[in-house]
Every structure is written in C-alpha cells, then in structure tokens.
Amino acid sequence: MPVEPLVCARTATRVSSVLNRDVKQFGKQNLFDGSEETCWNSDQGTSQWVTLDFPQPVKISQLHLQFQGGFSSRLCTLEGCRTGEELVKISELYPQDSHAMQISFPRITMMGFQVEETVLDKLRITFGSSTDFFGRIVVYHLGVLGERL
C-alpha cells in the first residue's frame, strides 16, 4: 500500500480557535505549510481540535504531529466517519510534551502513539488536555498519511 500525504488544497480544514483571532500569524494554514517558522496556535480553552474533510475517501495509516514543548496535548482523541455518518472514536494518542516530530505507525505503539488504519472522509483530532496552564495548543506540523481510495 502506498503511503502519501492526504491533506491537499481541496481538504477543508477547521480549527477550534486561533490565538487572539490572528489567523494570518497563527491560523490553520500553518499546520501544513512545511515551515519550521510558522504554527497553528490555539486560544485558551480545555478542548481544542482540528477537523479535516477530505475530498474523497482515504485510508489513514500514519499521523505526524509536532507540538511546541510546553504547549502540547497530553491526550489526543482521533474520531472519524464516512460522509453522512456521525463521528466515532478511532483511537487515543498520548503524545510527549516535546518539540520533536511524533509519528504513529499502525499496529506499533511507540510511547502511547498509535493510529489504527481506518477508511474515512472526515477526521477530527481533539486535544483534550494541554500541558499549558491556560489550555493553549501549538502545532508546527500536522501530517496525515495513507492512501486515497
């Protein structure tokens, strides 16, 4: 099975919040731009999230996340569904509070970070618990890899 990036220009992306509503500096576009200089920075709150609506069904096999240390999530819940269905929980991830790139692999748990291969049209990643006292999340890179169906 080929593993390729699944987020493209036609993938509709939504986020729970943006720090000070400054979408130019901290907006969702920074999740996928490949730059080490930019990031999505959420505003304060206990539950932040990113939702991806793919233009066609995809089979997700890997997730890449790079947080800013001190502004990472202790628990990430992945939910997904096919078009017209309700979101269902796929898995829970327990990332490290680190600036290092964290990569999930199917059927292999590395430091609490594993994604089950799943076919879906919509993916929601909920950052349920932040290491920041105010609940802010900072993500420099989000990669969703797998196969377009």
Beta strands in 1-149 (DSSP E): 4-5, 12-15, 40-41, 48-67, 73-81, 88-93, 102-103, 118-130, 138-148
The helix or strand, by DSSP H or E, that contains position 24, with its residue range, turns out to be helix 23-26
Q: Where are the domains of the chain?
A: 4-116+130-148
Ranking 43-57, 96-110, 128-142 by mean pLDDT, the lowest is 96-110
Under a CB-based contact definition with an 8 Å cutoff, are residues 138 and 149 in contact? no
How do residues 44-99 score in pLDDT, each as one tens digit? Answer: 988 899 999 999 999 988 889 999 999 999 999 999 999 999 999 988 888 999 99
Class of CATH domain 4-116+130-148: mainly beta
pTM of the model: 0.90
How do residues 2-43 score in pLDDT, each as one tens digit? Answer: 678 889 889 999 999 999 999 999 999 999 998 999 999 999
